[in-house]
Amino acid sequence: MGVVLFKVVQAASLTITPRGPAACLRLYGDLPYTRRTEGPLTTELGDLNGGETRKLLIHVPVNRMPVLGPAIVAELTLTYVESRTLTTRTITRPVSVNVVSADQAAARVPDPAVRAERLFHDAQEARLRASDALLRDDVDTAATILTSVIDALHQGLAWAPNADELLTEMAILRRHARDARHDGARVSKQVRSEWHTRTRKRGRFYE
């Protein structure tokens, strides 16, 4: 029996604006976006159905700060049209960090879920670089890229909450590294297709 999905949000977009010590922004995943030089970045999220959750990974590099304590490094602005009333709504939230001493920072443990998400996206970007190398008939470079990301995924097994997903990625990439020397064109096409599928579907799930 199929699940009936109800559209509750239309034309959603997210604008990410660096503030204060934040130098720039990086949005992971294959999401279309527009951006002014070293300024706000806007990505189109499209329509959302009831019960749907989106997950985005944003990298906000922060310059060294002379004063300890809380600081706002970015601002998130979500704009969307409410389907039921066709009303445009805007929600703005700050992104804050707590600046601490070097000793305190060294004792902090990064969130494993966030680290694992970045590791996943790094693997997808490695797929794309390997595909490009195979298109140039540079099998050695492609094999080096794939081997490097397999090693990184293997190290993540010790702490990542999604270890099963990493194991699946490793198995696929090992097969590509093996097959690339026999049929580089086919592997390049397959790897690029996987990159597109994984990045586009990433971060979208239903509760």
Token pair recorded at residue 63: 């310059």
pLDDT tens per residue across span 59-78? 888 877 778 889 888 999 99
| Digit-coded pLDDT (tens) for 109-164 | 889 999 999 999 999 999 999 999 999 999 999 999 999 999 999 999 999 998 99
Domain boundaries, the chain: 7-107, 112-206
Looking at the domain that runs over 7-107, which CATH code has it been given?
2.60.40
* 99 secondary structure, DSSP code: E
Question: For residues 25 and 14, is the Cβ–Cβ distance under 8 A?
Answer: no
List 82's β-bridge partners, or say none.
9, 87
pLDDT at site 29: 81
Give the list of residues 6+ apart from residue 17 with CB closer than 8 angstroms, or none: 39, 40, 41, 74, 75, 76, 77
Give the CA angle between residues 151, 159, 175 to the nearest 5°. 30
Mean pLDDT of 169-192: 92
pLDDT tens digits along 152-176: 999 999 999 989 999 999 999 999 9
Please tell me the pTM assigned to this model. 0.80
